[in-house]
Amino acid sequence: MTPAEMEPRIVRYGDLMPCKTAFIDAHTPGSDQKENFTIIGGGVSESPDQHVHIAIPHGFNIGAAGQPPKCRNSLHSHRTAEVFFVLSGRWRFFWGRWGTAGEVVLEEGDIINIPTGIFRGFENIGTDYGMIMAILGGDDAGGGVIWAPQVIEDAADHGLVLGENGKLYDSKKGQSLPDGVAPMPLLSEEDLKTYPEMTPMQVVGMGVRRYYDMMALGQHQPCKVIGETGIIRDKPGFEVDLITRGSATDEMHTHDRPSVLMPMRGHWRITWDGGATTLAPGDTMSMPENIRHSAVPSMTGEASLYHIVATDDPAGPTWTG
């Protein structure tokens, strides 16, 4: 592939196009300043205004959330894996029916694999605008978002209604539910009993790994972060590795499916048969299947890169490995 042919598969941080009305809590005070980015795949946005940068199926979705300080994402759940790593800022992740079952604070580079079947939310508790990058299992990302009932009720008080078709309607813009489309039903008390209140030991112990621990593990070979043999042992339909300066190699290799390269620290030189480019933190590159390529740091200093590739495991409940 020529550099011109590869360019549509590279999304630069500075070119990311946000959607400020992606979800039902877009008008709810405390959540009304968040920005949603859909980088690879259709994502789970409920808004027709959401821009999709790369629509090519990968077996998973890549997205991002950008938020100013004290802005939070409301309690929700997914049917497939939701993995975050912190690109910038300081973030509090919390979970449970009311968000009180547990919480953990993640710093830059840290990663969390949130189990399916629990309500979760997150908040920027840093002092500046922050960004977290997301991986969602499956090409359809599990079919959308499941909201805690109070989130839907609060949103209605501020003009947003979610239809049972998964689309948002904004009364502030004169919109209403179309004929034949009912509001998204609230989860019943019986439904809510199926959403466990997982302990911090369960969520943090099984699903959180710290950046500098992964850097130490990846000194001589890539750190398998998520996978059947990973330090987070899971089979969510994709694997995540952290590659460091010490484990990077200029040896050309291929994958039988598209892979994704996401620098965390430093600048990385990506070379493939036909061209080369340099990626910086916040950039995302989709490498086509069966294209020989390599990735090595292009400058001195700290360097790390998250690498994601789909597996033959079906996207579904987490921690099945």
* Predicted confidence (pLDDT) per residue in 93-126, tens digit: 999 999 999 999 999 999 999 999 999 999 999 9
pLDDT band at 319 (very low <50, low <70, confident <90, very high): confident
pLDDT band at 218 (very low <50, low <70, confident <90, very high): very high
pLDDT value of residue 132:
98
pLDDT value of residue 131:
98
Distance separating alpha carbons of residues 153 and 262, to the nearest angstrom: 37
Of 98, 103, 113, 297, give the one whose Cα is nearest residue 192.
98
Domain ranges within the chain, ordered by starting residue: 3-208, 211-310
Instruction: Give the angle subtended at the CA of 318 by the CAs of 77 and 50, to the nearest 5°.
Output: 45
Half-sphere exposure of 211 (CA within 13 A, CB side): 19
CATH C-level class of 211-310: mainly beta
Q: Quick one: tokens of 22?
A: 């992606």
Superfamily of domain 3-208: Jelly Rolls (2.60.120.10)
Give phi and psi for 174, each to the nearest 5.
Answer: 80, 15
Give per-residue pLDDT as tens, 11-24.
Answer: 999 999 999 988 99
Q: Judge whether 98 and 47 are in contact, CB under 8 Å.
A: no
The mean per-residue pLDDT over the stretch 136-162 comes to: 91
Of 208, 235, 248, give the one whose Cα is nearest residue 92.
208
The mean per-residue pLDDT over the stretch 82-97 comes to: 98
Distance separating alpha carbons of residues 286 and 309, to the nearest angstrom: 10
**DSSP conformational letter for 273:** T
pLDDT value of residue 321:
43
Give per-residue pLDDT as tens, 155-173.
Answer: 999 999 999 998 999 988 8
